[in-house]
A and B are shown apart, each in its own frame.
Chain A
């Protein structure tokens, strides 16, 4: 039901809704997804009411269907996010984001001596998702770990 209410706020005919983004992570998610450089119509909602979180963020992009792996990048900051695909005002698919196995050049390696921080080399990470500890990224080049609390997005 909640879903329906939102769609009334700013319904899109076709496109993608990224819902249930923690408010703190909304603008990071916008950055990671490179929303700024899209030409499609975008609605960004901040401090919307949510049963789950009290407050939440939401991003709606009209006429744009992302690849899964593109959206999965935000799992790092918004593991609770829901992805809703809309065609002809109908919800075609609804899924949660999955933690990706690898991520590309969206974050900085924490190691100041890493080649990616010194020369023009694009960073790559393996996502280490152990059960009993928070997510961390292992740099493909210098092999150092960057934990999420130290992560800096490019």
Chain B
């Protein structure tokens, strides 16, 4: 078991969040191609996630580390029925650090209890995806110059979206005001509303995207999936209400940035891409620098 592991965004204090953002900024401007020289990093993807894997592997390569692993459980011993306990025990004898993605919720927390080396959680089902949250924070800091006292709109599927859940948890450290924009069926779970209340922060639950836009500094869009609705008619009713179109940004603040964890389907219209307020592709690139920072931090090299 390793205490430097990153399993859940709540493992990090406010100070650590800020320290990692600084480190990500450092790596963006100061490439360190020797830092992970002679380190072997395992990337174990028990379910495929090309986007996250490429981002991690780019980060590892930029720091000069070497990679072992698999991209899909069907090509590994897992398919033969090997338990997570055994896979992790084994790989942790080979590698200096394990980056893992699993459809099983709680898998990374458990892996950290059996591993001899630190674990970075690259997503465990609908539970946590802390490096996504860290890159979101880095993106907010870069575009707003601060994390303090911001107005943040979270839009879309707030019930099941782990990205928005983590962002609520992390931004609660920074006196944020939340505009929670979703259809009634997909409102933020009560446990997270409670955590906003516990932090004595303001929040507004709303169903109208257009009402929220002029009020906020960050517009964080997420996808609404059809299968989340018990009644397909409900989905048909709301699906177009949470699509961002370029003209809708006309009355937004100058400093507003539109973010999205990607991949996008149709919730941000393509005509937004050329707007200077669109930030989602840059946001994805920020993920590489942030993952460099997390790798260095977890290995205690920076």
* Chain A residues packing against B (C-beta within 8 Å): 111, 113-116, 118-121, 130, 139-145
Contact = CB atoms under 8 A, between A and B. Distances in A.
Q: Identify the interface centre among A111, A115, A120, A139: most chain B CB within 10 Å of its CB.
A: A115
A143 B106 contact: yes
B229 interface: no
A114 B128 CA distance: 12
A115 B106 contact: yes
B84 interface: yes
B191 interface: yes
B126 interface: yes
Interface of B: 8, 83-85, 102-107, 109-110, 124-128, 191, 194
A130 to B, nearest CB: 8
B109 A119 contact: no
Given A113-B103, A142-B106, A143-B106, A119 B83 contact: yes
12 contacts: A113-B125, A114-B104, A114-B105, A115-B102, A115-B107, A115-B110, A116-B106, A140-B109, A141-B105, A142-B105, A142-B106, A143-B105
Q: Identify the interface centre among A139, A141, A144, A145: most chain B CB within 10 Å of its CB.
A: A141
A21 B102 CA distance: 42
B104 A113 contact: yes
Nearest to A132: B194
A121 B110 contact: yes
A121 B112 CA distance: 13
B83 A115 contact: no
Nearest to B8: A143
A142 B8 contact: no
B100 to A, nearest CB: 12
B192 to A, nearest CB: 11
Given A142-B127, A145-B191, A114 B106 contact: yes
Contacts of B126: 113
Nearest to A141: B106
A130 B83 CA distance: 36
Contacts of A139: 106
Contacts of A111: 105
Contacts of B106: 114-116, 121, 139-143
A118 B102 CA distance: 12
Given A140-B106, A145-B191, 20 more contacts: A113-B103, A113-B104, A113-B105, A114-B104, A115-B84, A115-B104, A115-B110, A116-B106, A119-B83, A119-B104, A120-B85, A139-B106, A140-B109, A141-B106, A141-B109, A142-B106, A142-B124, A142-B125, A143-B127, A143-B128
A35 B295 CA distance: 49
Q: Which 9 A-B pairs have the closest CB atoms?
A: A141-B106, A142-B105, A142-B106, A115-B106, A115-B104, A113-B105, A141-B109, A113-B125, A115-B107
